[in-house]
Amino acid sequence: MAKKAKKAKSAKKARSAKKSTNRTTTKKTKKTAKRKYSESAGQEVEREMHRTKKGTARSGPDGKGGKVKSKKQAVAIGLPKARKKGKKVPKKKG
């Protein structure tokens, strides 16, 4: 007897869930996301990547550090350069 009562309750819950999904909803248009980085900031990073591949990019203040060996380093150098020039680049985290 208890099993039948449980089944009846679960059937009611299922029906009530179905009713709520049958409502007509208005379609929401997807908003286009704003650019986080400006095109010119991307070009600044691109230049730094090119210098890395060429072998002339150096890390540290005034290039007194060692050679830049990875793409991550090149991006890490290019973004602050773009920030200093006033390009649209998000603030540095942490």
pTM for this predicted structure: 0.59
Does any domain span residue 68?
A: yes
Nearest to 43 by CA among 6, 14, 9, 81: 81
Alpha helices per DSSP H over the chain: 2-21, 39-54, 71-84
Parent domain of 62: 43-84
pLDDT value, residue 20: 56
Question: What is the full per-residue pLDDT of the chain (94 aa) written as tens digits?
Answer: 566 666 666 666 666 655 555 567 777 788 888 888 999 999 999 999 999 999 999 998 888 899 999 999 999 999 999 999 999 999 888 7
Is residue 60 within a helix (H) or strand (E), and if so which, with residue range? none
- Please name the residue that has the structure tokens 């730094």: 48
Asked whether residue 76 is assigned to any structural domain, the reply reads yes
The domain total for the chain is: 1
